[in-house]
Structures are given as C-alpha cells and as structure tokens.
Amino acid sequence: MKLLVGLGNPGAAYARHRHNVGFMAVDAIAEAHGFAPWRAKFQGQVAEGRLGAERVLLLKPQTYMNLSGDSVRAALGFFKLEPADLVVFHDELDLAPGRVRVKTGGGTAGHNGLRSLDARLGPAFTRVRIGIGHPGDKRLVSPYVLGDFAKADADWLDDLLRGIAEGAPALAAGDAPGFLDAVARRTAPPAPKPKPAARPEPPDPPAAAAPAEERSPLQRLVDRFR
C-alpha cells in the first residue's frame, strides 16, 4: 500500500493558492482514477482507490501546513507503513512554474509542511516538487505563495495536473521516470511540424524552332534536301 499526500491549507479561502497545489494534485488523481469519495480521518480528508496494481490512500491534511506531519504520521501508523511508502506533493519556489521533479530525502528549503513532516517522520520519503516559480524577492514570498494562481496560469496548470494524474500509476509503482514522462507529455510544447520539401522547378520547355523567315539561306537550303 502507498500513501500519497498533498500538502495545503484547508478551507475555501485557500483553495486556489499556489501553496495548495499539493491538494490540487491529489484531487486530480482521485478524480481521474475513480477513487472513493473523500471522508474525514487522520485529521485530514482521505480517499481510497487503486493505481494500477497498487492499493493507495490519498490524504489531504486539514491541520494547516505547519502541522501536516501530525496527520501523516497518524495515517502511516494506522496502516503500519514506513516513510518509504509515502509520497508527498508540494509547491516548490525553486522550480519554474509547471516544472516537476521527484526526489527522496533532502532538506525542507523553508517549506513549513516539509518541516513538520521531517520533524515527525524524518526525511526518508519521496517528494514530488511542483514548481510555482519565485517572485524574485524573498520579502514577497509569503504573499506570493498565499495568493491565487493568476488567470494566465490556468492552461499550464490544467495540463500539469492532468499529467500528474496520468503518471500516478507509475509513481505508485516506484517508477519515477515513467511518472515524469507522463507529465512531460502533457506539459512539453508540441514539436514543430517539419516543413514540406520544396518542389523542384519544372524544366524550361525546349526552344521552338525559329520561323522560316528568320532562318539563314544556308538553313533553308538544307531543309530542301531533308
């Protein structure tokens, strides 16, 4: 069994925040793969289903970001799972918008949700880092992550979430490259179509014989003996 966790803050006021893209990711997986309805458990919202051959529990902690580890630890303990069975989706300032990376272990980079998980479980779990970009000034980080995605982000965000949902079975099976390939198929710009080969120019028509009146006396004499 795998536990797939999306990090975010509960409530409608936070629903479209950049900081909630982890919630958006597990919502997309639940919808695309026909998971059971969300229900309250482990201080969060859970949905059960299957991704390929793997039984999976999706979890959205409702503890607010800085206490996410409490909810995740309760779910792991109930199912007797290890951090190696845990995959966490979270926003990542240090990646360009729409870029995705997968890693196991590592630091928290100041992310309050990851800090809570690290404190409660240690670092040995898989992170799916979903790029939201950086506002360019650290003083702007808080209002940026706690602000809604811009309308201009809608197209790439929709493609990204579709790609995450399509690649989720590979991720649950431990195939990170397969997961990233599925995301890339949705988010990479289409390859330019090759230009058709230039058609060769038709040959010039053969030159017409000169009219009789333009022919020399010698040419007209030759014509008489043909």
Active site residues: 19
Amino acid, res. 55? R
- Among 49, 44, 37, smallest CA distance to 73 is for 44
- Is-contact 125 95, C-beta < 8 A? no
Which two three-digit tokens encode residue 129? 């880092």
Instruction: Tell me the CB-side half-sphere exposure of residue 2, using CA atoms within 13 A.
Output: 21
- The structure tokens listed for 57 are 């529990």
Q: How far apart are the C-alpha atoms of 80 and 78, rounded to whole Å?
A: 6
Token look-up 């799916």 returns 128
Question: Quick one: CA torsion of 105, 108, 114, 115, rounded to 10 degrees?
Answer: 120
Instruction: From 166, 167, 174, select the one nearest 86 (Cα to Cα).
Output: 174
SS3 73: helix
* DSSP, res 17: B
Residues with Cβ within 8 Å of 198's Cβ and at least 6 positions away in sequence, in order, are none
